[in-house]
Amino acid sequence: MVAACASNEGQTQNRMNEELLKICRARGLTEEDLDEFVHDAAASEALPQVNEEARQSKQENLLSDASQKASRINNKGVEAQVEYLVEQRGFDGARQLLEQAEHGA
């Protein structure tokens, strides 16, 4: 039963990601068009740790790590970017970002 639920969740996630990828294709969005969204999401993900850290050097390291993570995701292409945006913003949040993204901006 647990395996069946996990399988259904994976299929649902795949369908949602595919729907978002269709938005990207329809709007002509490329990796470069989503780069900044991924960097913003990675920085937001790191902020709780950054805010708890008193040392500025540690804060800078945490933000640098977040930037490097975003770069790794961005280098993997649109599919990885969409997957990460869904993880960080949820399906609706990711869809809103994609709908406001500008090709070539």
CA distances from 93 to 26, 31, 56, 62 (A): 18, 18, 31, 24
DSSP 21: H
The packing angle between helices 31-52 and 56-75, to 10°, is 150
* pLDDT tens string 7-23: 566 677 789 899 999 99
Q: How far apart are the first and last CA of the chain?
A: 46
* pLDDT tens string 36-60: 999 999 999 999 998 998 899 999 9
The per-residue pLDDT for 12 is 76
Average pLDDT, the chain: 90
Q: pTM for this one?
A: 0.83
